[in-house]
Structure formats: C-alpha cells, structure tokens
Amino acid sequence: MYNRIVRCGSVFMCLLGAAVAFQESSAVLAVQGQPEIREARTLSTHPADLDSNWRIVLSEAIAYLAGWQQGSNPIAYAIRAAYLWQNGEKYHYDASQEPPTCWVLGPTPGENDCNDGIDNDGDTFVDCDDWDCDKSPYCNPEAVCDDGLDNDGDSFVDCDDYDCAFSQACNSEYNCNDGIDNDYDTFIDCDDWECDSSPYCNPENLCNDAIDNDGDTFVDCDDWDCDKSPYCNPESICGDGIDNDGDTFMDCDDWDCESSPYCNPERICNDGIDNDGDSYVDCDDFDCFRSPYCHKK
C-alpha cells in the first residue's frame, strides 16, 4: 500500500492522509452544492466512478481530486473517493446513509432475504423481483409434485410443499356430487376416475339383496336408484294383460298379484263373504259361475 501512495505524488498523499483521518474519526462533513448523483443499474454510484462499475480505481480518484482542486468537486466527496480506493476499490450504495457516507466499502451484498418484503440491497427490487433471488426456494415453486424430490430446495417435498396446494397430484376429487373440479384435473365429479367408487357414481344395482351396493346408506328399494326397479314397483294392475313392473311376469303370474282379487277366485260360494275381495259375493261373483250352489235346479 505504501508504494501505491508514493507513486501518487505529494498532493494525493495529503488527500490520502485526510481520508485516513476521515475513516478513523467517522466524521460526517456537510456538503454544500453536492453534485448530482448519477444513476447506474438503478443504484447511485459515486461521482468519481466514471464508468459506474462500483469500483474506484486510482485514475478515477486522481481525476476527482483534480476537480476538487479546481473547485468543482466537494472535498468530502474527494476524501470518500480516496478512502474507497485506498481500502479496496469496490464499494456499494447504502440508501440509509447520507452522502458521502452512503458509499460503503465492499461489493453489493445482494438481496440476502427473499421472503421478508424488504429491499435488502437497496436496488429498488424486492424479494423475488430481484435477480439475486433467482435461485431462492421462495422464488422457485415446487415444479413437480409427485416425483419425491424437493424441487425448490425449501425442505418440503411434493404435497408437503404449499406450492403444490393446487396440484392435481395433491388433491383428490373428494366430493363427487358438487359440480366442482376439486382436484383441478379438468374432470368433474363422476367424470373423474377418482369417483369410480363413489356411491354417487355407482347406482344401487341390486334392489332385492338387502345390501347397500353403492354405499350411500340406503338399501334396495329405499335407495332412489331403485325407483324403477321391478322389485320396488309391484304389478299394480293384475288384470290388464300388461307387465306393469317390468319383471317379465304379467298379472297373476307376478307374485305381486298374489293377493289380487283377479288372481284369487271366490273359493266358497255360499258363505256370504266376498272371499276374493272383488266386491262380489258368492254367486254374484263370476268365479262362482260353475259352483253347484249357484246353479238352480
């Protein structure tokens, strides 16, 4: 470092001495008529940094010193430029400080926290909007939710990662009767294979086995799926020549008609009773047409 100072000449030696004193005392000099701070990559570089590369080299420090000697550059800025050059050349901008102490030694720290809502490096870009966060797990969602890998490096794998909250791999069609695509796979309710075993998608296919076939707590004819089943719709008319309940048995051949008056003839024709319930008694019932009790001698 001593050799670097000697080559600068006596005038610059004085500037360096002032810079050291500035550093040790941490004095803050009031600056009158400070020059406009140039913008570079959205950050404010020191006026001595001619190429805005966040590095003040010897030639730039000397040039700025010359400006001070001519009365165009503030002494405080000149001392800061010498201080930055002397102590490593690289610097960054700290928006929380006033000039000239806003130019701080060391490279730009970068957005070191990508999930705090704060512009940590003062470049006007916050968290995932800052390119420093390109590789942060907070800014790279779990791309594949069923591969057993922690794709975004946030220690949560697949469905345990909140990034997968809306993934079809992590959401089943849990309601098969709501008209909603619960698992976001574009298939709704019974059109989704996950509803294959749902009672809403499997009707009561046997209506006389005393088993709840579709698991909806309703058994056989108590299940609306059986509304049209012949087991749940008796042969309502037993003398019309029609298979009313669709069980292939018609009228008195259907067990539903076992108690029908059409299927139970008036068995006793002289007891004064309407035995078959057809409102006709004894010989008034055509069933007794051949009965000896109904043939006059």
244-270 pLDDT tens trace = 777 888 888 888 888 787 787 777 899
Residues 6+ apart with CB under 8 A from 233: 227, 244, 245, 246
CB 256 within 8 A of CB 246: no
How do residues 106-151 score in pLDDT, each as one tens digit? 876 666 778 888 887 777 888 888 888 877 777 877 778 888 888 7
Q: How far apart are CA 208 and CA 232, in angstroms?
A: 8
Q: What is the pLDDT of residues 201-248, one digit of tens each?
A: 877 778 888 888 777 888 888 988 888 887 787 777 887 888 877 788
The SS3 assignment for 40 reads strand
Q: How far is CA 94 from CA 46, 87, 99, 102, in A?
A: 11, 17, 9, 5
Mean of pLDDT over the chain:
78
Going by C-beta distance under 8 Å and a sequence separation of 6 or more, which residues neighbour residue 15? 61, 65, 78, 79, 82
pLDDT of residue 236: 75
How far apart CA 51 and CA 297 sit, in angstroms, is 140
